[in-house]
Amino acid sequence: MPTEQTSNMDSQTPPLSILVFGAHPDDCDIKTGGVAALYTQQGHRVKFISVTNGDAGHHEMGGAPLAQRRNEEAQAAAEVIGIEYELLDTHDGELMPTLENRYKIIRAIREFRPDLIMTHRPNDYHPDHRYTSTLVQDAAYMVTVPNICALTPHLEKNPVIAYLSDGFVKPYPFTPDVVVGIDAVVEQKIDMLHCHVSQFYEWLPYNGGSLASVPDVASERRAWLAERMLNRFRDVAERHRDVLIALYGEEVGAQIKCAEAFEGCEYGSALTADNIPTLFPFFE
């Protein structure tokens, strides 16, 4: 269940609306589950959208039953921190940057009216990740054009877009503008990932050759998952320690153990030193 909200917002400041596009159910959780929890604790709105329904991500089941299962998992994860979670009904592994799909993204953005959008970078191993990024980038300017998707009211301002972190280095490596410490909410993030049973205890271990290491006892699985995922979150903090210190100050930045990182995309409104404290209100 979501924790009690403790808003840090001034009474005159409207809540932020944060929209995250992932290619698959669980992509948003892995990359932004921590900041999503921090946003909701401050009273901001967060929505995750999976651009595919995840119906290919398993070794023993697929199609409609898997899509329905993954939607149930996503909704359970959303309940952990109190956010919205939507799966678009596009086949996993078949996403293409078509005009039809671009219109879906434009409408989704306009309907939610986000201040900040987060999504994958366009250079990535998975075609669904790449094309999710392309679709969001292609929608960026179009969301402000009244005659595109004319029955869904256009936005007057292009939202800021930020990329999710990754380890790819060609044609250029991920270079974060913002790194957020998530130590205070990391257990909630793991609780979210724990909801995606089909992925973290079945498909991903199978695909990675480690299925035999997954505990048979359900009660032992979360600890097994936490041990593996915490290493990833700690690695983000260590790799980008300089940015943490720049944003939080030497004393706090040096002590952060787990983090999530984001890079501004040039296709939306600019992510700048001036608006980072507003869009990421975590550094006071």
Is 108 within the bounds of a domain?
yes
Helix (H, G, I), strand (E, B) or coil at 129: helix
Instruction: Report pLDDT for 4.
Output: 44
202 in a domain, yes or no? no
Instruction: Note whether residue 205 is domain-resident.
Output: no
User: pLDDT at position 12, please?
Assistant: 64
Burial of 82 (0-12, 13-18, 19+ CB in 10 A): middle
Question: On the CB side of 236, how many CA atoms lie within 13 Å of its CA?
Answer: 24
Whether 111 is in a domain gets the answer yes
Q: Which two tokens stand for residue 24?
A: 């698959």
pLDDT tens-place string over residues 24-39:
999 999 999 999 999 9
Place of tokens 């209100």: 281
Based on the structure, what is the number of domains in the chain?
1
- Cα separation, 139 vs 204, whole angstroms: 31
Q: What pLDDT score does 13 carry? A: 78
- Identify whether the C-beta of residue 271 lies closer than 8 Å to the C-beta of residue 162: yes
- Record the tokens describing residue 99, joined without a space: 């005009």
Q: Which of the four pLDDT bands, split at 50, 70 and 90, describes residue 1?
A: very low
With respect to residue 210, please indicate whether it lies within any of the assigned structural domains: no
- pLDDT value for 219: 80
The number of beta carbons lying within 10 Å of the beta carbon of residue 31 is: 23
pLDDT in tens, 76-97: 999 999 999 999 999 999 999 9
3-state secondary structure of 268: coil
What was the pLDDT predicted at 168? 96
Q: What's the CATH number where 29 sits?
A: 3.40.50.10320
């593996």: which residue's tokens?
A: 228
> Average pLDDT over the chain, rounded to whole?
95
- 50: containing domain: 17-181+260-279
Per-residue pLDDT of 95-122, as tens digits, reads 999 999 999 999 999 999 999 999 999 9
User: Tokens 């970078």 — which residue?
Assistant: 121
For residue range 157-201, list pLDDT tens digits in order: 999 999 999 999 999 999 999 999 999 999 999 999 999 999 999
CA distances from 185 to 135, 201, 243 (A): 30, 22, 20
Strand duo 259-264 + 178-181: pairing: antiparallel
Q: What is the pLDDT of residues 115-155, one digit of tens each?
A: 999 999 999 999 999 999 999 999 999 999 999 999 999 99
Is pTM beyond 0.85 here? yes
- For residue 247, how many C-alpha atoms fall within 13 Å in the half-sphere facing its CB? 28
Cα separation, 24 vs 19, whole angstroms: 15
